[in-house]
């Protein structure tokens, strides 16, 4: 059966982890990851999560199946975070939300549903984008193309290029947009630019698909939702995939959601019935634990405050690492201006280091980054930041 099976290409980032794990140097640093580490270099278990888990353990609830779409307490809490608790869309019953297996699972359910809805559409992702965007939509059966996004000259967004491309797409094209904390570049749109993207989607009849994997990692829960809020106010229909992997540090629990904004309550009921068919034939219904923990935290004011404080702590620590890295590079005598790293948002930065410099960081210093020059700021801490800055200074000056 398997004799002719070829080896699939290795995932570039997971491959990096394997090489890092095999490296015996004690001062090695892995900046290639997409995970938040605390100042001790550990993945945090949030106190709010611990409290909710303790209560759950004590209650020892039975483990029956969840509804296909997940628990209402979870889905409602997700809607409030994304659309705002006073959202007219929620009050009108226009939003369909289903619990998904992380942000990845939300994108896949959304992709599979879109394929049934509009099989001939092309999906457009940013250039560059999170590696898995292309793979997920291709595996759903779509042709995937790109729109211009990153401008290496300004280290920001090539907004003119992006807008021009959106303005020429065929009606019904699906446009995947990073709602905040763009992965991999760290370059986000301004509120005014989001307004223009909304109007471009309206003018061309595009299908916006917002991917929100880092709500709360840039400026805060509410400000980071600006793109979702502008689309909400537009009267357009759109998709949102969201994830608690980072914001709750619940990576392995696979907690995310897909939300679809429809025209009215009746449409929402019909759309939900179709999305449930997609889920039923894939994994039938979502796992219980992660969603129950997130719902417990979001729905209890005390735990929610605890979580918001912890999330702010993660956000502030990343920002401190951005500032610290830029200052250390300057102190190390690097002529090149790295201040753009402070402007970028979320966990990642496109550092403008070349593939050769990234290779040198690995071979000479045991510092691992993605060959595109993407580094994860959340992997820096007070102990390794000086070493990393010196190493970057060394390869940048060479």
Residues assigned a catalytic role: 130, 211, 246
**Least spacing, CB of residue 111 vs ligand PMP, in Å:** 12
8 Å CB contact between 119 and 141: yes
Distance CA 230, CA 195 (A): 7
Distance CA 235, CA 354 (A): 43
Return the number of the residue (48 or 101) whose C-beta is nearest ligand PMP. 101
Size of the site for ligand PMP (CB under 6 A): 12
Q: Does the footprint of ligand PMP cover residue 186 (CB under 6 A)?
A: no
Distance CA 67, CA 211 (A): 24
Q: Which letter does DSSP use for residue 212 in this model?
A: E
Residue 342 to residues 192, 221, 319, 323, 324: CA-CA distances in angstroms? 21, 20, 7, 6, 9
Sign of the dihedral through C-alpha 31, 33, 36, 38: negative
Q: Does the footprint of ligand PMP cover residue 130 (CB under 6 A)?
A: yes
Member of 34, 156, 216, 366 binding ligand PMP (CB under 6 A): 34
Member of 79, 94, 104, 259 binding ligand PMP (CB under 6 A): 104
Peptide bond between residue 186 and the one before it cis (omega within 30 degrees of 0): no
Q: Does the footprint of ligand PMP cover residue 103 (CB under 6 A)?
A: yes
Q: What H or E segment, with its residue span, contains residue 204?
A: helix 191-204
Q: What mask, x for binding ligand PMP by CB under 6 A, covers residues 220 to 249?
A: -----------------------x-x----
Site for ligand PMP in 245-274 (CB under 6 A): 245, 256
Site for ligand PMP in 38-97 (CB under 6 A): none
Return the number of the residue (186 or 256) whose C-beta is nearest ligand PMP. 256
Member of 94, 126, 158, 183 binding ligand PMP (CB under 6 A): 183
Chain contacts with ligand PMP (rule: CB under 6 A): 34, 102-104, 130, 178, 183, 211, 213, 243, 245, 256
């Amino acid at each position: 059966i398997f004799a002719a099976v070829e080896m699939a290409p290795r995932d570039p980032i997971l491959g990096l982890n394997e090489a890092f794990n095999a490296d015996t140097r004690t001062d090695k640093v892995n900046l290639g990851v997409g995970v938040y580490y605390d100042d001790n270099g550990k993945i945090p278990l949030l106190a709010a999560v611990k409290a909710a888990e303790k209560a759950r353990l004590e209650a020892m609830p039975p483990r029956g199946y969840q509804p296909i779409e997940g628990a209402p307490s979870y889905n409602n809490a997700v809607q409030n975070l994304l659309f705002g608790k006073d959202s007219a869309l929620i009050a009108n019953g226009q939003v369909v939300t289903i619990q998904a297996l992380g942000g990845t699972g939300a994108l896949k359910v959304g992709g599979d549903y879109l394929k049934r809805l509009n099989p001939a559409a092309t999906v457009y992702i940013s250039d560059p984008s999170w590696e898995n965007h292309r793979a997920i939509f291709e595996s759903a059966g779509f042709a995937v193309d790109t729109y211009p996004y990153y401008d290496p000259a300004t280290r920001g967004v090539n907004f003119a290029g992006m807008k021009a491309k959106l303005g020429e797409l065929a009606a019904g094209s699906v446009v995947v947009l990073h709602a905040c904390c763009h992965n991999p570049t760290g370059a986000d749109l301004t509120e005014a630019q989001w307004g223009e993207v909304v109007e471009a989607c309206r003018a061309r009849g595009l299908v916006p698909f917002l991917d929100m994997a880092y709500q709360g990692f840039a400026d805060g829960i509410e400000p980071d939702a600006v793109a979702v809020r502008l689309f909400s106010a537009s009267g357009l229909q759109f998709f949102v995939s969201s994830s608690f992997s980072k914001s709750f540090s619940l990576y392995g629990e696979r907690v995310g959601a897909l939300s679809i904004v429809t025209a009215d309550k009746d449409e929402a009921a019909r759309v939900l019935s179709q999305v449930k068919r997609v889920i039923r034939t894939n994994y039938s219904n979502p796992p219980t634990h992660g969603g129950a923990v997130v719902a417990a935290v979001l729905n209890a004011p005390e735990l929610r405050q605890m979580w918001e404080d912890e999330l702010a702590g993660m956000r502030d620590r990343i920002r401190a690492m951005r500032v610290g890295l830029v200052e250390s590079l300057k102190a190390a005598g690097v002529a090149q201006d790295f201040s753009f790293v402070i402007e970028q948002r979320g966990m990642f930065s496109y550092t403008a280091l070349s593939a050769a410099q990234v290779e040198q960081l690995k071979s000479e210093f045991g510092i691992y980054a993605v060959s595109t020059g993407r580094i994860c700021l959340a992997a820096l801490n007070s102990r390794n930041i000086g070493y990393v800055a010196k190493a970057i200074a060394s390869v940048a000056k060479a």
